[in-house]
Amino acid sequence: MANPSKNNIAYVRTTMLTEQAPPITAAGPVLWIRTNLFSGPFNTIATLVGLYCVYWLVGHIGPWFLYSVWNANSLAECREILNGVNAACFGVIKDRWHQLLFGFYPPEAYWRPTLAFVLMIVAMAPILFESVPRKVLWFSAIFPALAFWLLWGGTIWFSVVGMLGFGIGYAVYRALVKNMLLATIAAVLVPILFWLFLLGPISGALSEALPIGIRKIDSDEFGGFMISIIIGVTGIALSLPIGVLLALGRKSDLLLVKWICVGFIEFIRGVPLITLLFTASLLLNYFLPPGTNFDIVLRVVIMVTLFAAAYMAEVIRGGLAALPQGQYEAADALGLDYWKAHRLIIMPQALKISIPGIVNTFIGLFKDTTLVVFIGILDPIGLSNAIRADSNWNGIYWELFGFIALCFFIFCFSMSRYSQYLENKLKTDHR
C-alpha cells in the first residue's frame, strides 16, 4: 500500500489502547508459581516431594500441638484427659516452669534473677544499638557488680568495693600519666593487689559497720536457663577481649609471646570442652594452693571463657589476615605506635570483617553451656532428667526437649539475626 487513500481503509484507530493487565500466566502469583515451583519436570517432582514432606510434617506435628493439654499435674492425669489421643502434654512446662527457669533457687528470691535479667537487657541496649542514649553505658559498666550481688546475695559492700578497684586503677593511671609505661603497669598492678589483699578486709569492715545485704544464695541452688544465661553472657563478654589479645599475641613479633599464644590456642582447640570442664571440677584443686576452694560456677565460667577465647582468637586472626597490608603500612606512615595503630585503624576493620565468625563463636559458646550438666550443674537438660525422675512426670520426653530446644533456638537465632543487622549497618563498601 504505497499510497493509501482514505476510501479503502476500513478503520483507523485514533486513540491509544488502554493499558491492559499482563496475561495471568506472565505476572503475579501464577508467574511466581510457574518459575519457582513448576518450571520443568524435575522442578515439578521436587515441588511435589517437598509438598509431601510439608504435609507429612504438619500432619504428624499439627495434631500433637492442636490437642495438647496444658492443665494437668501428672502424666497419668494428662493421659486421662487425652483419652487415647496422641498429643502433647504441656502441663509439665506449666507445672515446672519456675524450675526450668531458676532450678532450685529459693522461690521467695525469684525476683532477684528476674530483675537481673531485665537490668541485663537495659545494660546491653546501649552496646547493641546506637540509638540508645550513651549515658546508659555507665549503667552497663556497673551492671556486672550489681548482677553479682543480686544473684548471689550477701553484703552489697563486696560488689561496691570490688568496683572501687577499677576506680583506683583509673586514679593511679591519671596520677602517673606523665610516664606512660609506669602508669600502664601501675594501673594494672594496683587494682589486682587491691582485690587480692584489701577487698576482703574492707568489705568485711564496711558490712560490720553498715550491714546492707540480702540473703546469700549458694551456687549449687542455681539452675535452669538462669545458669545457661549467666555462664553464656559472662563467657561472651569476657571471651572477646581475651580473644583479641590472643590473636594479637599470635601475630606478634615477640617470639616468646607468639609461641605461648600459639601453644595455648592450639591446645584449647585440640581438646573437647568437656575435658576442660572435668579439669575444672576435678583437677583445679590440685593446681591451686592447699585450702583454696572457689565456686563451681566461677570455675565453669573461666573454662568456658578460655575455650571460647581460643576460637575467638582464630576468628579475629582471620580478620586481621584479611586486612590489606596497606592498612598496616598507612598506620605506620602516620607515625602511630603499635597500640594506637591497632586501636584506631586495624582492629575496627578486622573486627568488622570477622563479625559473622565472632557471632558464630558466641552462639557456639551459648550452646556449649549445656555441657555443664556433666559436672553436676542442673542446666535445662539436667533438669529435664530431674523432672523425669519424679514419678508424676516419669516418661515425658518430647514436651520438655521441645521447650528447651525452642528457648535455645530463640536465643541463638536472635543472635545470628543481630549479626546480620550489624553487618548491614557497618557495611561501607559500595558494592
Partner 1 sequence: MATTSENQAGSFRLGMLIYDTRYRSMTIQVVFMFLFMAGAVWLIDNTITNLSALGKDFNFGFLDVRAGYDINQRLIEYTNDSSHGRAWAVGLLNTLLLALFSCVTATVIGVIAGVLRLSKNWIISQLMNLYVEMFRNVPVLLWIVIIFAVLTEATPAPNAFRGENPTASMLFFDTVAITNRGVYVPGPLFTQSLGAINLGVISVSINFLLISAVVIGSIYANIRLRRHASAVQEATGDRPVTWWKSLLILFAPLIAVLAALGFHLDYPTLQGFNFQGGSYMRNSFTAMWLALSVYTGAFIAENVRAGILAISKGQTEAAFALGLRPNRTMNLVILPQALRVIIPPLISQYLNITKNTSLGIAVGYMDMRSTLGGITLNQTGRELECMLLLMVTYLTASLIISGAMNVYNNSVKLKER
Q: Where do contacts with partner 1 occur on this chain (CB under 8 A)?
A: 35-37, 39, 43, 46-47, 49-51, 53-54, 181, 253-257, 260, 266-267, 269-275, 278-279, 282-283, 285-290, 363, 367-368, 370-371, 373-374, 381, 384, 395, 397-398, 401, 404-405, 408-409, 412-413, 416
CB of 70 to partner 1, least distance (A): 22
Q: How many CB atoms lie within 10 A of CB 403?
A: 18
| Least distance from partner 1 to the Cβ atom of residue 247, Å | 16
Which lies closer to partner 1 via its Cβ, residue 197 or residue 398? 398
Q: Virtual CA dihedral for 70, 73, 78, 80, nearest 10 degrees? A: -130
Tell me whether residue 179 or residue 391 sits nearer to partner 1 (CB atom): 179
Which of 305, 240, 314, 310 is closest to 277 using CA atoms? 305
**Residue 172 or 261 having the CB closest to partner 1:** 261
312 vs 278: CA distance, rounded Å: 22
- What's the CA angle centered on 120, arms 115 and 122, to 5 degrees? 100
**Shortest distance (Å) from residue 418 CB to partner 1:** 13
Rank residues 170 and 421 by Cβ distance to partner 1 and give the closer one.
Answer: 421
Q: How far is the CB of 363 from partner 1 (least distance, A)?
A: 7
Q: How far is CA 285 from each of CA 166, 288, 296, rounded to the nearest angstrom?
A: 29, 5, 11
Residue 170 or 259: the one with the smaller Cβ distance to partner 1 is 259
Relative orientation angle of helices 224-250 and 111-128, to the nearest 10 degrees: 40
Beta carbons of 358 and 240 less than 8 angstroms apart: yes
Cell numbers of 195, please? Answer: 582485690
CA distance 275 to 296: 15
| Number of residues in the chain | 431
Backbone angles phi, psi at 70, to 5 degrees: -105, -20
Q: Minimum Å distance from CB 193 to partner 1?
A: 15
Least distance CB 412 / partner 1 (angstroms): 4
Q: Give the residue with the Cβ less far from partner 1, 184 or 207.
A: 184
